[in-house]
A and B are shown apart, each in its own frame.
Chain A
Amino acid sequence: MSNLWFLYLFFAALLVFIGLYCLLTMRNLIRLFIAVEIISKGVSLAIVATGAVKNNILLAQSLAITYIVVEVALVAAALALIINIYKKNRSLDVRLLSKLKG
């Protein structure tokens, strides 16, 4: 069982790494948000796999569902924000956001 846990957490950490790499290096706002989604996949995989290995799958499922609902609300708000930023700047380049003034 420990090997199985190791396998799932290994891949979950890999997903988080891929997402973090994209977040730190890329410039397109939509691509940055895809990276956030990949990180969230890694986290939900870790939650459900740990629940399955530790015989707490019902609790893990309810936590994963809560996580997915939060994720959807986040995506909806962030994509609306991205559309607004695009309308203002006519670009999705994240570097242009540093020129914003309050």
Chain B
Amino acid sequence: MVIQIILLCGLVIFSVLAILLKDLIKAALSLAVASLLLGIIFFRLAAPYAGVFEISVVAGLITVLFILTIALTKKGDEVTEARLVKLAFPVFLILFLVIDGLVMKSLLQKIPALPSGPETGTFGQVLWKQRTFDLVAQVGVILAGVLAVLALFRKKEEDRDE
């Protein structure tokens, strides 16, 4: 329980750093550390496959994409944020912590949970047999993403020709 709380606190701290740090590279690296901690939390919740995906894809691939984008947009750091935003953040955070603590517990008791029996079988059976439609949708989403990226970069090449 103590380790879980430490991991969750680390997750929140690195997420806060990701939005407050001025240097975007450091912000992206903080996000990667937060993903790593989330992956460890998944492992501790007996969800190793989700943990592996979180660490390899989110902490690895997405961080690389972020750093690549930051490198390609060098003047990105020059966007000035309003000063009040960072000053007001701790106030809003503490306010939300109080509301979250007060409301969440009573809210959880009111949420009707659907009755479900204990799960049987392996992860592979659940993923490939029960959630087959999800996998088809995943293939569609990946294709849509690839086509979107291709379309966006093809447009740039046309601009170069002109």
Q: Which residues of A contact B (CB under 8 A)?
A: 2, 4-11, 13-15, 17-19, 21-22, 25-31, 33-35, 37-38, 41, 44-45, 48-49, 51-52, 54-66, 68-77, 79-84, 86-87, 90-93
> Judging by beta carbons under 8 Å apart, are B76 and A28 in contact?
yes
> Judging by beta carbons under 8 Å apart, are A73 and B145 in contact?
yes
A75 CB to closest chain B CB (Å) equals 5
> Judging by beta carbons under 8 Å apart, are A18 and B16 in contact?
yes
User: In the complex, A2 Cα to B92 Cα: how many Å?
Assistant: 27
> Judging by beta carbons under 8 Å apart, are A31 and B24 in contact?
yes
Report A-chain residues with C-beta under 8 Å of the C-beta of B148.
76-77, 80
> Judging by beta carbons under 8 Å apart, are B31 and A81 in contact?
no
Given contacts A34-B27, A61-B50, A82-B73, 19 further A-B contacts (CB under 8 A): A7-B4, A10-B101, A11-B8, A18-B15, A31-B19, A31-B24, A33-B66, A45-B38, A49-B45, A52-B46, A66-B131, A66-B137, A66-B138, A68-B50, A68-B53, A75-B62, A76-B65, A84-B156, A91-B75
B51 CB to closest chain A CB (Å) equals 9
> Judging by beta carbons under 8 Å apart, are A83 and B85 in contact?
no
User: In the complex, A76 Cα to B146 Cα: how many Å?
Assistant: 8
A79 CB to closest chain B CB (Å) equals 5
Closest chain B residue, CB of each to CB of A9: B104
Number of B residues with CB within 8 Å of any CB on chain A: 81
Given A28-B76, A77-B148, A21 and B92 touching (CB < 8 A)? Answer: yes
Report B-chain residues with C-beta under 8 Å of the C-beta of A5.
108
Closest chain B residue, CB of each to CB of A41: B38
User: In the complex, A19 Cα to B12 Cα: how many Å?
Assistant: 11
User: In the complex, A64 Cα to B152 Cα: how many Å?
Assistant: 28
Closest chain A residue, CB of each to CB of B48: A61
> Judging by beta carbons under 8 Å apart, are B58 and A65 in contact?
no
> Judging by beta carbons under 8 Å apart, are B126 and A70 in contact?
no
> Judging by beta carbons under 8 Å apart, are A87 and B145 in contact?
no
Cβ contact of A84, chosen from B12, B78, B79, B152, cutoff 8 A? B152
> Judging by beta carbons under 8 Å apart, are B24 and A30 in contact?
yes
Cβ contact of B75, chosen from A54, A69, A75, A90, cutoff 8 A? A90
